[in-house]
Amino acid sequence: MEHEQEYLTFKLNGEEYGVDILSVQEIRVWSSVTELPNKPNYLKGVINLRGVIIPIIDLRLRFGKEPLPYNEQTVTIILRDHNSDKNMVVGIVVDAVSEVYKFALQSIRQAPEFGSQIDSCFLKGLATVEGKLIILLDNNALLNQDELYSFEQQVLEVACE
């Protein structure tokens, strides 16, 4: 049993991604956010989740994909970091949620180095199920403030120069 991990998968730009289900706190439909001033474009804003203020990140924009207008399929996955003391919470906006799959740890393969628009630091590995390839994201990296907010900053700096 220990050698298996459950993943919640979601659709993003035609691909299927997975996050460790243990770090998923809840799934919400998209609701309007309060914008923050001078924020990077992928940070949609913050919402009030039962008294806690949570930043919402559009994963498409974060991964450098084209934005998609939000529809009734669009959901926000609330991720919570249980490991660190800070208990950081963040919401990611994805196109749609898909399934929950169980993967044996040895069936998760190392992602090849590919010059994708995704910074490889978010990638944990790849897994196949029912003939589909699922990109597994590293929830530690996703919930790490430095990594989560760093990438776009660099892009902005380049754009400004």
Partner 1 sequence: MTIDLSQFVPTFLEESFEGLALMEASLLDLENGDSETINSIFRAAHSIKGGAGTFGFSDVSEFTHLVETLLDEMRDGRRDIKPIDIELLLESVDCIRLMIEAIKDDVSFEKTKIEQIARLLTETLAVGVTTAKSGTVDPKDNNDNLVVDEPINLQESSDEKVKWLIKFIPEHHLIQTGNDPLLLFNALADLGEVGVVGFSTDLPSLSDIDAEEVYLSWELSLVTTASQAEIIEVFEWVEDECLLTLTRVASAEAAIKNVAAQPYVETQASIVSAEPAETARTAVVTNEADIKLEQTSVASAIENVSVVSAKTSEPSSPTKAKADAGSIRVGVDKVDSLINLVGELVITQSMLSELGNDFDLSKIEKLSSGLEQLLQNTKELQESVMRIRMLPISFAFNRFPRLVHDLSNKTGKAIELITQGEQTELDKTVMEQIGDPLTHLVRNAIDHGIEPAEVRLANNKPEKGTVALNAYHQGGSIVIEINDDGGGINRQAVFNKAVEKGIVDVNSTLTDSQVFDLIFEPGFSTAEKVSDISGRGVGMDVVKKNIQALGGRIQVESKQGIGTTVKINLPLTLAILDGQLVKVGSETYIIPLITIVESLQVRTDFINRVSGDMVLYRLREDNVPVIPIYKLFNIEAVITEVENALLVVVEADGQKIGLLVDDLLAQQQVVIKSLNDNYQQVEGISGATILGDGSVAMILDVPGMITMALRSAQQYQPHNHQAQPQFEGVQP
- Under a CB-based contact definition with an 8 Å cutoff, are residues 76 and 29 in contact? yes
Give residues 109-138 in contact with partner 1 (rule: CB under 8 A): none
First to last CA, the chain: 52
Tell whether residue 52 is a contact of partner 1 (CB under 8 A). Answer: yes
- Under a CB-based contact definition with an 8 Å cutoff, are residues 56 and 79 in contact? no
Tell whether residue 1 is a contact of partner 1 (CB under 8 A). Answer: no
* Phi, psi angle pair for 99, to nearest 5°: -140, 175
Q: Considering only 17-25, 39-47, 60-68, 120-128, which stretch makes contact with partner 1 by CB under 8 A?
A: 39-47
Q: Is the dihedral of CA 114, 117, 121, 124 positive or negative?
A: negative
Tell whether residue 36 is a contact of partner 1 (CB under 8 A). Answer: yes
Q: Considering only 9-17, 51-59, 100-108, 120-128, which stretch makes contact with partner 1 by CB under 8 A?
A: 51-59
Residue from 2, 38, 115, 131 touching partner 1 (CB under 8 A): that is 38
Q: How far is the CB of 89 from partner 1 (least distance, A)?
A: 5
Give residues 86-105 in contact with partner 1 (rule: CB under 8 A): 86, 88-90
Q: How far is CA 107 from CA 21, 73, 104, 153, in A?
A: 17, 30, 5, 35
| Number of CB atoms found within 10 A of residue 99's CB | 14
Task: Name the site residues for partner 1 (rule: CB under 8 A).
Answer: 32-40, 45-48, 51-55, 86, 88-90, 145, 149, 156-157, 159-160
